[in-house]
Chain A
Amino acid sequence: EVQLLQSGGGLVQPGGSLRLSCIGSGYDFSKYGMTWVRQAPGKGLEWVSHITSGGYTTDYGDSVEGRFTISRDNSKNTLYLQMNNLRVEDTARYYCAKGGGYSTGYGPDAFDFWGQGTSVTVSS
């Protein structure tokens, strides 16, 4: 059974930092791209960042470019999101999601499994 177990998150002041983690199990973690998607309270889904299966290529949404860093350790089946210089508008529930392999090459993908999400609140 595929599972994505998330940790990290919490309350942080503006300008602070947090690191989110997502451990995949039940599948070959190293073979699939991974993504972070966030959802502000009462709002829709916003794509944050993507990393290819080997970790060699990363992409970011404009709102987080230069502040967030996505990475993965395939030896630990773990995905990370390092969030620096956090802003009030980064307050959201953050989901990690597994690429379904429906992309062309290492391109963007649809997501067949999602973590339960972790809450990030940025407030003074």
Chain B
Amino acid sequence: DIVMTQSPDSLAVSLGERATINCRSSQSVFYSGNNNNYLAWYQQKPGQPPKLLIFWASTRESGVPDRFSGSGSGTHFILTINSLQAEDVAVYYCQQYYSIPITFGQGTRLEIK
């Protein structure tokens, strides 16, 4: 199984500042056949289901604000939230869909400082 590890577990960032969340996989999730990383990011607000933000490690889902961006390749990935807004308070998860079983990171709780 591919183990996904996020860091930090929680962070507090001031409004308007940048938040950075890391995700590492225990093995590469890059598929050379199509040059894609099988890595997604989700946002989950209290009482709501997760919402897809990023797929293929760096492609924003339709309707996601461009202050959200994903980067990285292989085993190390980063979710960056620029100009943090109050509505960005949530738990963020990375997920690999390279192989079964699908696995998620443990989540990173983002709060306002």
Contacts and interface: CB of A to CB of B under 8 A. Distances in A.
| A and B physically associate | yes
Interface of A: 35, 37, 44-47, 50, 59, 61-62, 95, 97, 100, 102-104, 107-112, 114-117
B34 A104 contact: yes
Interface in B44-70: 44, 49-52, 55-56, 61
A40 B102 CA distance: 17
15 contacts: A37-B50, A44-B93, A45-B50, A45-B107, A47-B101, A47-B104, A50-B100, A59-B101, A62-B101, A102-B38, A103-B97, A108-B102, A112-B55, A112-B61, A114-B50
A100 B101 contact: no
Contact of B102 (A35, A62, A114): A35
Interface residues of B, number: 27
A107 B102 CA distance: 10
Contact of B97 (A61, A95, A102, A116): A102
Nearest to A102: B55
Contacts of A114: 49-51
SS class, residues of chain B in contact with chain A: loop
Given A46-B104, A102-B56, A108 B50 contact: no
Given A45-B104, A112-B61, 10 more contacts: A44-B106, A45-B50, A47-B104, A50-B100, A95-B49, A100-B52, A108-B99, A111-B50, A115-B49, A117-B49
B27 to A, nearest CB: 14
A17 to B, nearest CB: 23
A79 to B, nearest CB: 15
Nearest to A96: B49
